[in-house]
Amino acid sequence: MTRPWSYRGISHGMIVVALLAVPIQAAAQPSSAAACSGCHAPVNDGPVPGLIGRPAGEIVTAMAAFRAGERTATVMDRIAKGYSDEEINAIAQWYAAQGQPAGNP
Amino acid sequence: MPSRSGTRRKASRRAILKSALAGIATLAAPPVLGQAKAHVIVIGGGFAGATCARRLKAADGTIAVTLVEPNARFTACPFSNAVIAGLRPIEAQYFGYDGVKQAGVDIAGQIVVAIEAEARQVHFADGARLDYQRLVLAPGIDIRFDALPGYDQTAAEIMPHAWKAGAQTLLLRRQLEAMADGGVVVLSAPANPFRCPPGPYERASLIAYYLKTKKPRSKLILLDAKDTFSKQRLFEAAWKTLYPGLIEWVPLSGGGRVIEIDAKTRTLVTEFGSHLADVANVIPPQRAGAVAIAAGVADQTGWCPIDPHTFESKLVPNIHVIGDAAIAGAMPKSAFAANAQAKVCADMIASLIRGEDPREVKLINTCYSLVAPDYGISVAGVYAPRDGLLTEIKEAGGVSPLEAPAAQREAEATYAQAWFQTITREVFG
Ligand SMILES: Cc1cc2nc3c(=O)[nH]c(=O)nc-3n(C[C@H](O)[C@H](O)[C@H](O)COP(=O)(O)OP(=O)(O)OC[C@H]3O[C@@H](n4cnc5c(N)ncnc54)[C@H](O)[C@@H]3O)c2cc1C
């Protein structure tokens, strides 16, 4: 079975290894991130920033700030509070491993 | 009139369902070719079903996926309230299935009339049959034309529900356009649960916007079978500032529950009296789409109990239910939720087919409502399975702040539009 993205994810850190104990096929998103793409488009051309290819650290920092109420938000402050550090890390690693975002110079 | 033929088609569909069900017991087992690779059938090409079909292909390309949907064109409900208010063309609600096809999904332009769960087989209206390893039901809602005395399909042509987008949406729009200034618009909202909990209040807001700008002497009465509703304080505060004296909300305790409809006189009868309307929008009680009832996955409530990890029916094995038809615990019946559930369900089915244990899941819902074109509010929630139900995570979620600058309301209106574009691209694009 080939699952390149999860191997790539694993190379990014231990937390991902723990969370991805169950293998997922190539191109599949972690289920904890499944809902993100409802608003965050693969193409970074709208008012909601795209996440694909964004450095993991950036996503982790933003989520921490949303969760702490330290960053101006409309809904992300309310959503971030529902995710643990481990979940946020796994989501961030996955998005970071997805290559360059379309339409983001 | 297109809406008439639409309702006729639905009526005959229900009749076929009944007769097909009655026939099941006597049907001999039909010869079907054995399928080497896993085959998943998804019934219903809406927000839940189309998402699930695509995600299954993405999760495991070796799974054969058939999406069954009789309509070549989907008409989306989110933002259909803006169509009713004249703020948006209906064409902006139309989506085709080319993107779904290109993702490797087979599309069957058919109606499923019966399901033989033990044989794992679906029956189409044209007599064809198809085997499945797992079946996903995503039929959305059906209007309960048996629940409100006087409100049947004929009455719906006079007092539209517009709770399935399309001809009904346009009918309500035309009626509002034809109404004289100074007319009375009456809306009625059902008890929980129903599709899109903030929907009736968004609709009241946008109709009020239309009346205020085009027919300022008119009035809107909202008869409610509930004493509280979604984003209530936000809606009420906005109504006070934007539409003072225009919207009258009558709660259950104030006699708001509609118990009878007289379509001939456009009258809505409540426990306390009756309301004569110039334009009436009856949002009646609902249940899971007929095919869910036929499959035996709906309980006595008319909705479908599911395992919150896999979305597999608690009543019939190998059938998963997602979207509005499912009892998703604390998750509301929204397109956002339907799309999120569909992705998780697809991942779980791919895991189950590979013989793996289901993984931990977490789901989100975000519902925006427009109170005016540049005034958006939202409710958000994060959900995880607990005690057999999808439960809201207490620390997270909630509604937009009650006090907020105009810029934030404007931003949320912009995000609402962006959400619709993103989600419809993901599902149909
Ligand atoms: C006025 C209004 C405003 C709304 N606004 C929002 C909003 O802003 N945000 C939001 O998130 N949600 C909103 N919603 C809710 C949203 O529309 C629903 O929650 C969503 O459509 C549910 O998706 P679904 O896939 O379960 O059902 P649907 O989208 O209704 O799809 C069901 C599909 O199944 C097909 N089908 C049914 N029976 C069969 C059968 N037997 N065989 C084959 N196919 C079948 C139907 O043709 C249909 O295409 C709104 C709803 C309304 C009415």
Per DSSP bridges, beta strands B106-108 and B141-143 are unpaired
Q: How far is CA B22 from CA B27, B113, B114, B128, in A?
A: 10, 11, 10, 17
Contact B301, B325 (CB under 8 A): no
pLDDT value at A10 more than 90: no
Is B399 within the bounds of a domain? no
Give the C-alpha separation, B375 to B419, whole Å. 15
| CB-CB contact of B71 with B95 (8 Å) | no
Minimal CA–CA distance to A4: which of A92, A98, A90, A101? A98
Whether the CB of B329 sits within 6 Å of ligand 1: no
- What percent of chain A shows pLDDT beyond 70? 69
Residue A22 has pLDDT above 80, yes or no: no
Beta bridge partners of B123: B114, B129
Looking at chain B, which residue has its C-alpha nearest residue A91? Answer: B362
Residue B293 and residue B264 share a domain: no
B35 and B88: one domain?
yes
Query: How far is A67 from chain B, CA to nearest CA, in Å?
Result: 9
Q: How many CB atoms lie within 10 A of CB B389?
A: 17
pLDDT at A2 over 60: no
Please count the structural domains in chain A. Answer: 1
Closest CA to ligand 1's atom 8: B78
Q: Is B138 in the pocket of ligand 1 (CB under 6 A)?
A: yes
The arithmetic mean of pLDDT across residues A90-98, rounded, is 93
Residue A43's pLDDT band, with cuts at 50, 70 and 90, is confident
Q: Of B359, B387, B414, which marks where a domain is finished?
A: B359
Mutate to test the pocket of ligand 1, among B71, B77, B135, B428 (most ligand atoms within 8 A of CB): B77
Q: How far is residue A15's CA from residue A43's CA, in Å, rounded to a whole number?
A: 28
Determine the Cα–Cα distance for residues A53 and B236; give it in Å rounded to an integer.
42
Query: Residue ranges of the alpha helices (H) in B85-198?
Result: 98-102, 167-178
Cβ of A74 and B58 within 8 Å? no
At residue B199, the pLDDT reads 98
Report whether residue B332 contacts ligand 1, using a CB cutoff of 6 Å: no
Q: Clarify whether residues B275 and B297 are in a common domain.
A: no
Q: Is residue B411 part of a domain?
A: no
Write phi, then psi, for B180 (nearest 5 degrees): -75, 155
Q: Is the same domain home to B193 and B241?
A: yes
- DSSP 8-state symbol, B28: P
Kindly state the tokens that stand for B342. Answer: 């569909």
Whether B390 and A71 have beta carbons less than 8 Å apart is answered as no
Q: Is B12 helix (H, G, I), strand (E, B) or coil?
A: helix
For position A46, which CATH number holds?
1.10.760.10
> Dmax over Cα atoms in chain B, in whole Å?
67
Residues B309 and B277 in one domain: no
Q: Contact at 8 Å (CB) between B330 and B389?
A: yes
Cα of B327 from ligand 1 centre, angstroms: 15
Name the strands in the sheet holding B267-270, side by side, starting at the edge strand that comes first in the sequence. B258-262, B267-270, B274-276
Q: In terms of domains, do B197 and B129 share one?
A: no
Does B413 reside within a domain?
no
Where does the pLDDT of residue A16 fall: very low under 50, low under 70, confident under 90, or very high at 90 and above? very low
A73 occurs within a structural domain: yes
Return the exposure string of B159-183: e unless at least 16 CB atoms fall within 10 Å of the residue's CB, then b.
bbbbbbbbbbbbbbbebbeebeeeb
Beta strands in B74-208 (DSSP E): 74-75, 94-95, 106-108, 112-116, 121-124, 129-131, 134-137, 141-143, 184-189
Domain enclosing residue A69, as ranges: 27-96
Give the residue from B340, B359, B378 where a domain finishes. Answer: B359
Which chain A residue has its CA at the smallest distance from B383's CA? A82
A14 has a pLDDT exceeding 50: no
Final residue in a domain of this structure, among B237, B257, B284: B284
Residue nearest to ligand 1 atom 42, measured at CA: B111
- Which segments in chain B show pLDDT lower than 50? 1-35
Query: Do residues A12 and A56 lie in contact, with contact meaning Cβ atoms separated by under 8 Å?
Result: yes
Rounded distance between C-alpha atoms, residue B287 and residue B293, angstroms: 9
pLDDT score of B322:
98
In terms of C-beta density within 10 A (0-12 exposed, 13-18 middle, 19 or more buried), how is residue A9 classed?
buried
Q: For tokens 């959305």, what's the residue?
A: B140
> The CATH number of the domain where B167 resides is what?
3.50.50.60
For residue B180, give the H/E element and its range: none
Among all residues of chain A, which has the CA nearest to that of B344?
A31
Q: Does ligand 1 come within 6 angstroms of the Cβ of B379?
A: no
Domain total in chain B: 2
Domain span holding position B273: 153-284
Among positive and negative, which fits the CA dihedral B249, B254, B257, B261? negative
The answer to whether position A105 is within a domain reads no
The pLDDT value given to residue B360: 83
| Alpha helix segments (H runs only) across B120-243 | 167-178, 199-214, 232-242
- Please indicate, yes or no, if residue A68 is contained in any of the structural domains: yes
B237 and B333 housed in the same domain: no
Instruction: Tell me, yes or no, whether B52 and B93 share the same domain.
Output: yes
Which residue intervals of B269-405 are DSSP H helices? 290-295, 335-353
